[in-house]
Chains A and B, each alone.
Chain A
């Protein structure tokens, strides 16, 4: 059974460019989470969805960040425009809303030059 799938695995871009990260949750899961991990700040929850509806986006750092979940099997995290301080590993995780036992994807390593 496939786990959480994220793409791309690595992204290198220049400051000011738009970046789109993609996530496919585990089939049947109805909660989806976006996290950012850096050495300085550790793992931070950016936003999470229940049944495709955003529940808490208080962790989204700025208006430059946006996330969507158009259906139960796909979500995107977009950064526009990107800045060097956005460089981090971005993780997507999914769970059943009944338990919130989270399963993580392999992450996308983003480097903004």
Chain B
């Protein structure tokens, strides 16, 4: 049973470009969470999605950031017009319905975004 998959693992963008980060949850998991880790800091919650629904986006910046988890395919975190401050590691976590009941989340390896 493969774990949470994220790609790309490393992404370099120039200021003003768009970044698309993909997350494939573990098989059978329908809950997806995105977190951001800035250098030398802990992880900060961004958004929580279930299939086709955004449940909690209280941690998402109001502009330029969006997330989706379609019925088919991976969850996508999209950052438009990237700025240097967006450089960070972005982690995706997933849960099954059962694991979500006690908030156990399984993390992917992360995507390290560098904005030049």
Q: Do A and B bind each other?
A: no
Binding site for A on B (CB under 8 A): none
Binding site for B on A (CB under 8 A): none
